[in-house]
Structure 1
Amino acid sequence: MSSAPSDRSTVYPNRKTAVAATALWAVAVGLLAGCESGPAEPNATASGRAKATASSGGCLDALRKAKAAVQAAESTDTTWKGPRSGPGAVPGKTLVYVAQTMTNPGVAGVAKGVEEAAEAIGWNVRVIDGEGTPAGIQAAFSQAVTLKPSGIVIGGFDPRLTSQQAARAEAAGIPLIGWHAVSSPGPSTSPRLFTNVTTKVEDVARISADWVIARSGGDAGVVVFTDDSIPFARNKAELIKRQLAGCPGVKLLAYENIPIPDASQRTPQEISSLLSRFGKKWTHSVAINDLYFADAAPAFRAAGRPGAGPPSNIGAGDGDPSAFQRINSGQYQAATVPEPLTQQGWQIVDEFNRAFAGSPPSGYVAPVHVVTADNSGGGTSWDPEGYREAYEQIWRG
């Protein structure tokens, strides 16, 4: 938007025209102000925000929708909206949790929830670490089947990696429940899962991108970090890219494919390279898992970047304690879209109980939530209230 001339009387020779022009100017300024409401980026300039607002393709509409969605997702209402009825506890069961890698905080957090819930219902649990490699995961799953448990949890990996082991489990009548095993929550026929516990990847991807759009005022240079070896993660990253593209003022600078097991080694090197390539153009980041920012922090610090950004970083899962600590202290992460990891562990145990009792899955899917320093309450996890009591009451029968 061009600046106003210093002598309006030479442009608007009569009062009526001048008043009309002033009114039009006020409307334009009002529209711009409406697009800029909300948190301001420390590196954003007025001219940059105005340029983004005026861009073609409906960024004003995308910005309005993004702000509304983020505001709703930042609500801290923790009223339990999950199941309150189901079969009573089936006694004497044993579960094996096969973990993609226990260095993945999300996988480890859910394992902790499964162990906690199993103790509450009176079952035994064993965790076997696949250590993040196909061979390790296959070996862990083979060991799980050999143990002949009542049920097996697929913790954060693609069951297609273990099709032979899954077939052996099915032949032995051992039900399988996944956590982030396939792209959608609920039952799966290929691979055969009694249910898959996860938030909706579409919702997580959308709100992560919306946070960037809303926080930047529609003017951002973004890097996306993902692990394309995991179909769930690859799908999430593609959905993030698609949502970001809905605002023309938001530019995707780079798409970084870093396998999670390699993140601690590769991420610092990639951060240094990205800072060299993009400099101040890099204003925001979205990662499919918070752990990328744990590994990125030393590189940002070494480069002299402030903890509060730029870039401003959001994790599109899983909301582990270290992510909350970075957010609360303003150190190289501004937000996360956390999974309620402990609650999902309890849900997995309840879903197994339904399977053992011959009942259908509960169908519950946790809603998305955005955590920032403003609404975290100083906590280190997203742990909604009420689910423990609700599940224990169900199991008591």
Structure 2
Amino acid sequence: MQSRKRDHMTITHRAARRTRVLTALAVGAALTATLAACSSDSDDGGSASAPSGETSADSALAQEITTLEQPLDAFPVPTDKVDGVADLAGGTIYYVPITSRAPQFAITQAEITVAAKAAGLKVQACDGKGTPTDISACITQATHAKAVGIVLDGLAYDMAANAIEGAQKAGVPVVISNQMTDERHPATETFSNVGTAGSPQMIALAKWIMFDSGGKANVLINEATDGASQIAYVEAAVDEFTKDCPDCTVTVNKVSSASFDQIPSSTSSALLKNPDIDYVISEFAEFLQPTAQGVQQASAKVTMTTAASALSTLKELKGGATLQAATAQAAGYQGWVDVDAILRLHAGQDVPEYEVPTRLFTPDTLDGVELTSDAEQTGAWFGPATYTDDFTALWGVN
């Protein structure tokens, strides 16, 4: 087995140093712009050069990462009003996540409940447990209960196609959330997809690793194989490495919610086969702990990153022991979007293409971020959480 090029302490110090470079570059860019605007003597029209020791590509990537780390000025709420919301009062929306293990889904469930209550509705949650049998049973239960609608979170249509089609035939609207649109299953009067933030999160982690490693990373990605979308998110990251980091190497290790207990041994095996790996991406935060167990089993010295983060993830990130970068999406906002989509299907109105905000976090950028359950649930990590009033105004229930 080859010896490691760096120990973990070196990697951690490098990550902190390069994160500080991001800030310096951002400040430098702002100063350059100010000086250029104030100067009346220069007429050469040339562009500013990259800071000493940094290539223009490094500088551009640093600026991208700085942007990924910033909150929004406002959440992207639709503008078209929804008709007939009051007519649904007292009904129930069923929320079916692919697995309740995912902390992200717990946040979405909490905010679906708040949003539904604002619209005069109730929510019934049913754990899909990562298996087609359990998912189908949840959908069938909702159909028999004559639900106002069914929100399926993080699972593919094909995992429960018969049950989904049965619900639609019974007049129960179905929304698949957090999945890419499947051309084989286009939107209908009773079915729609709601936007996914999977690929942007994975691409953000790829960019951070490229910069942090100086363009020479050996990366292991634990890819969830629970559906085509989860695989596509990883492919987006791999494509990013291929395009912009020729000296990076990426190994993909396949894991799944249904085989959760096998993730530690699977991760350990992948690391032992590839001893030069120095970065690990866990595609979802629910896989982070078993992935870390696999790292320990292999006695590997790596920098950990993860997507789909929750409060516990960011608290671990702030400690900065091993986890060095994490992305998250506004899972609470997603809950309001899901309810909005169900209401629009009931009204016979077009369902818009929602955008779910994401953000990149590192230990150095968590200062000023309120690491509380309330901030996580409302989406305050991503921007001003005033979108709830915007949605209720659209629904006519303010």
TM-score, L = length of structure 2: 0.75
Identity across aligned pairs (percent)?
Answer: 21
User: Structure 1 residues 276, 161: closer, same or farther in 2, change over 3 A?
Assistant: closer
2:304 aligned counterpart, secondary structure: strand
Q: Using the alignment, how far apart are the partners of 1:95 and 1:256 within structure 2? A: 36
Match of 1:267 among 263, 271, 287: 263
User: What do residues 202-257 of structure 1 show as CA deviations (whole Å, max 9, x unaligned)?
Assistant: 433322211111121111110011122311111111121111112111111x2110
Q: CA 1:87/1:162 → structure 2, altered by over 3 Å: closer, same or farther? A: same
Match of 2:279 in 1: 284
- State the SS of the aligned residue for 2:344: helix
1:337 corresponds to: 327
CA RMSD of aligned residues (A): 2.9
Q: Deviation of residue 303 (structure 1)? A: 6.4
Aligned to 1:379: 371
Equivalent residues in 2 for 1:219-238, closer than 5 Å: 219-238=216-235
Distance in 2 (CA, whole Å) between partners of 1:156 and 1:171 is: 22
Pick one of 72, 75, 80 that aligns with 2:75.
80
Q: Distance in 2 between matches of 1:336 and 1:193?
A: 36
Q: 1: CA distance between counterparts of 2:193 and 2:98?
A: 15
Q: Deviation at 1:142? A: 1.4
The AA in structure 2 aligned to 1:87 is V
2:224/2:231 contact within 8 Å kept: yes
Q: Which has the larger radius of gyration?
A: 1
Matched with 2:48 is none
The equivalent residue for 2:150 is 152
Q: Is the 8 A contact 2:187 2:193 kept in 1?
A: no
Q: Distance in 2 between matches of 1:185 and 1:203?
A: 18
Q: Is the 8 A contact 1:291 1:323 kept in 2?
A: no
CA deviation string 1:330-349 (max 9, x = no partner): 24322222111111001111
Query: Residues 371 and 197 from structure 1, CA distance in 2 versus in 1: closer, same or farther, beyond 3 angstroms?
Result: farther
Letter in 2 for 1:137: I
* Cα distance in 2, alignment partners of residues 75 and 320 from structure 1: 17
Q: Structure 1's 197 and 140: CA in aligned 2 closer, same or farther, altered over 3 A?
A: same
Residue 302 to residue 235, structure 1, CA distance change in 2 (3 Å): closer
Would the aligned equivalents of 2:155 and 2:226 in 1 still touch at CA under 8 Å?
no
Contact 2:94–2:151 under 8 Å retained in 1: yes
Q: Which amino acid aligns with 1:372?
A: T
Distance 1:134 1:95 in 2: 20
Corresponding residue for residue 239 of structure 1:
236
Structure 2 stretches of 5 or more lacking a match?
A: 1-16, 22-54
| 8 Å Cα contact 2:330/2:357 also seen in 1 | no
The letter of the residue matching 2:284 is: N
Query: What is the rounded CA distance, in whole Å, between the counterparts of 2:302 and 2:357 in structure 1?
Result: 27
1:294 partnered with 2:289: yes
Whole-Å separation in 1 of the counterparts to 2:149 and 2:183: 17
- Does the aligned pair in 2 maintain the 1:204–1:368 contact within 8 Å? yes
Q: Distance in 1 between matches of 2:217 and 2:312?
A: 26
Change (3 A) 1:200 1:105: closer
Q: TM-score, normalised by structure 1?
A: 0.75
Per the TM alignment, residue 66 of structure 1 is displaced from its structure 2 partner at its CA by: 3.3
Shift of 1:192: 7.7
Residue of 314, 331, 336 corresponding to 1:346: 336
Contiguous gaps of at least 5 residues in structure 1: 1-36, 42-59
